[in-house]
Amino acid sequence: MTNKTKLLEIKNLHRHFPIKKGFLEQITLENGKVTRKVEKVHAINGVDLTINKGDALCVVGESGCGKSTVARVVMNLISPTEGEIIYDGTRIDNLKSKTLLPFRKRMQMIFQNPYASLNPRMTILDTLMEPIKFHYPKKTEQERRTILDDTMESVGIDPSWVVRYPHEFSGGQRQRISIARALSTDPEFIVADEPISALDVSIQAQVLNLLMKAREERQLTFLFITHDLSVVEQFGSHVAVMYLGTICEYTTTKSLFDKPLHPYTQALISAIPKLEEDNRPHVKLHGEVPTPVNLPTGCVFHTRCPFANDRCKTETPAKQEAEPGHFVACHAVDEDRI
């Protein structure tokens, strides 16, 4: 078995967003004193992940867990507050746009909202040709045209679509066009941020199949963000479960579904409405989801966890390898309480 090469490394990533940006707005009168109160949304709180070449890492979590923020930091759309992003051995989060350019060709992104990911004033031809012209300035017009035609064909886009505008297409078709745009630079790494959540069920299958085909044909490595665990089971090789900016559990897809260790993962899996008669015990979570503004102390999950004890309220659990290749950050697992 060949040694897998690390393609993407996320090291100790932290990212928070101040809520009130202006200095003057941060000053309040509290307890008779003029104080500066800086409230922040703690979107990512210490994330470490590694993606090897050829893997499809799915990052799963519900809204507010920070998974989309991770995607955006990886793609250099936002900079980290702390931590590093390393791509193929080079640190990329601190690069200027010129030095970043070669990486832009190798890393591409697919977005969630098909209705906002295409420029409404550009024809499909313009949208698809622009990246090709930009990244292949030395090629002839004919060569570029060939790249365009090949890409369109691999994604199932009818050549007659090129003169039309995005508003003439359905959600699924627009998503195909976005995928074509991402594939046109011949990337090796794709970040897909909930690419099928906004689509109808039967179209989801089409687009997911398309991504799987592209992955096989082009040997792509994926960072796939989703909230749908059944898609994870289908598409992913590895899974990381996120909650309020931290990774609860990380392992291969098979291990996760065979034996979910973290209580949050168990709750997520049991919450999927299954088609079959459901006689499993439902892992119930109580309480409301805390906001990322005021993070709970200790383990961020303790406010909703059915297994929380005093240690959980004060001490943040460290990520530990509970089983070979299966990492969990949970005191209850560590203490063998589950």
Partner 1 sequence: MSLLQVKDLEVSFKLRTGELHAIRGISFDLNKGERIGIVGESGAGKSVAAFSILNLISQPGYISGGSISYKDHTLSTMSDAELATIRGNQIAMIFQDPMMTLNPVLTIGTQMIETLQAHQKMDKKTAEKEALHRLKQVHIPSPEKRLKQYPHELSGGMKQRVIIAIALLNNPDIIIADEPTTALDVTIQAEIMELLLELCKNNGVSLILITHDLGVVAQTTEKVIVMYAGKIIEQGSTRDIIDNPNHPYTQGLIKALPQKAAPGEMLNQIPGNMPQLDAIPTGCAFNPRCEHTTELCIKTEPELIAKDNRAVSCNLYSERLKHDK
Partner 2 sequence: MNLTFSSNLKQFRDSFLWHSFKNDKVAIVSVVVFLTFACTAILAPVISPYDPYDLVILDIMDSEIPPVWSEEGEERFLLGTDSQGRDMLSAIFYGMRTSLLIGLCAVILQATLGIIFGLLAGYVGGKVDSFLMRVADIQLSFSTMMVAIIMLAIFQASFGTERYNDLAIFMLIMVIGIAEWPQYARTVRASVLAEQEKEYIDAARVLGFSSIRIMFRHILPNTLSPVLVISTVQVANAIMSEAALSFLGLGMPVTQPSLGSLISSGFEFIFSGSWWITVIPGVVLIVLVLVINLLGDWLRDVLNPKLYKG
Among 38, 163, 272, 318, binds partner 2 (CB under 8 A): 163
Question: Rounded to an integer, what distance in angstroms lies between the CA atom of residue 274 and that of residue 264?
Answer: 18
According to the binding rule CB under 8 A, does residue 113 interact with partner 2?
A: yes
**Eight-class DSSP state of 167:** G
CA 12 to chain CA centroid, Å, is 16
Phi/psi of residue 264, nearest 5 degrees: -70, -40
Among 19, 101, 272, 318, binds partner 2 (CB under 8 A): 101
- Encoded one letter per residue, x for contact with partner 2 by CB under 8 A and - for no contact, window 60-79 reads ------------x--xxx--
Question: Rounded to an integer, what distance in angstroms lies between the CA atom of residue 265 and that of residue 249?
Answer: 8
According to the binding rule CB under 8 A, does residue 151 interact with partner 2?
A: no
Among 9, 84, 88, 130, binds partner 2 (CB under 8 A): 130
* Range 35-94, binding partner 1 (CB under 8 A): 62-63
Residue corresponding to tokens 């098979």: 254
Question: Rounded to an integer, what distance in angstroms lies between the CA atom of residue 173 and that of residue 300?
Answer: 40
Minimum CB–partner distance for residue 119 and partner 2 (Å)? 5
Helix-then-strand count for the chain, H and E: 12, 14
Question: By C-beta, is 100 or 271 nearer to partner 1?
Answer: 271
Q: Identify whether the C-beta of residue 89 lies closer than 8 Å to the C-beta of residue 317.
A: no
Among 278, 315, 323, 335, binds partner 1 (CB under 8 A): 278
Chain residues in the site for partner 1 (CB under 8 A): 62-63, 170, 172-173, 200-206, 208-209, 212-213, 227-231, 233-235, 253-254, 267-268, 270-278, 282, 284-285, 287-289
